[in-house]
Amino acid sequence: MFTIAASEARKGFAAVIETAQREAVFIERRGEAEAVVISTAEYKRLIDAAEEAEDVAAFDTAMAEEGPNIPWDQVKTDLGW
């Protein structure tokens, strides 16, 4: 993790982007973190992880639902398989 003031980030934005390829860059304004710059690879990894977590939560919710089970053969027939 690397932290830089917003004024310094403005002056050396190319260096901020370069650093973000290796680690997250926190940009501070008045001593408070205001933004984070990360690589596109890290962004994609985070999005994939969030989507996976949503899928797991949806699966858990579906499994907890009450109701009759539908036989697999019926599901295939309904889907035209």
Q: Please state the rounded mean pLDDT for residues 24-33.
A: 97
pLDDT for residue 29 is more than 90: yes
Please say whether the beta carbons of 23 and 45 come within 8 A.
no
Tokens standing for residue 62:
């579906």
In tens, the pLDDT along 41-61 reads 999 999 999 999 999 999 999
In whole angstroms, what is the distance from residue 3 CA to residue 26 CA?
Answer: 5
pLDDT for residue 67 is more than 90: no
In whole angstroms, what is the distance from residue 56 CA to residue 62 CA?
Answer: 10
The CATH fold assigned to 2-38 is YefM-like fold (3.40.1620)
pLDDT for residue 62 is more than 90: no
pLDDT for residue 70 is more than 90: no
Please report which confidence band the pLDDT of residue 68 belongs to, taking 50, 70 and 90 as the band edges: confident
